[in-house]
Amino acid sequence: MNLDDNVNVSVRLSWRPLGDVKINDEGSLIFPSMHSLLNKGGIYRITGRRPIDSKGTHDRPARWWFYIGQTGNIQARMYKYRNPGPDQKTNIRINNALRFELERGTEVYLHVSFDMELRVGRQWMDLDTDSTTQRTLAETAALYQAYRTADPLDVDMLNKGLDDSVDREFKDAPWPY
């Protein structure tokens, strides 16, 4: 077996806008049309832009928030956010957060990425969106970049578990999780 002593892995991806997420009169989420994504895996980013006078999770102005995830079927994942099962904690948390934000006037957008590349050593290759490991690597890279480049005073993150500071943010979130 020939294993390198050094690890050199990179991910390259671009976000493709799918459209706005809305809420109907009955309080159900409406996601943009995803017919072209039938059974397609990848990563997704849901972002929100709050009205100017809104407060974030720490009673401070936070204009933006986001959630980044990965799935083997983007269309099915959005369906689960719209109709979470009783034991699906993350789906319930995201559903509650989206409905809360939309009801207070937040503009919510859905972006996807499934044309991603992975570099191992010096060689770039297409990332396999059927591989949970490779999708998770891309999701983690996107989360880390967003986490490191976001203005912590102007952005709230809906993702849990990145580090203790993110988990503390959720403790005071205005939506149940």
pLDDT in tens, 123-150: 999 999 999 999 999 999 998 888 777 6
Confidence class for position 55, pLDDT limits 50, 70, 90: low
Give the mean pLDDT of 9-33: 94
Is residue 2, in this structure, part of any structural domain at all?
no
Report the alpha-carbon distance of residue 85 to residue 78 in Å, rounded.
13
Is residue 176, in this structure, part of any structural domain at all?
no
Domain count, the chain: 1
Q: Domain holding 34: CATH number? A: 3.40.1440
Is residue 3, in this structure, part of any structural domain at all?
no
Order of strands, sheet of 155-157, starting from the edge strand that comes earlier in the sequence: 29-30, 16-23, 107-113, 42-49, 64-71, 155-157
Tell me the pLDDT of the chain averaged across its residues. 82
Is residue 155, in this structure, part of any structural domain at all?
yes
Is residue 4, in this structure, part of any structural domain at all?
no
**Domain assignment of residue 166, given as a range:** 9-170
- Residues 92-116 have pLDDT tens digits of 989 998 998 899 888 999 999 988 9
Confidence class for position 53, pLDDT limits 50, 70, 90: low
Q: How far is CA 158 from the centre of its chain?
A: 8
Give the mean pLDDT of 1-8: 76
Is residue 1, in this structure, part of any structural domain at all?
no
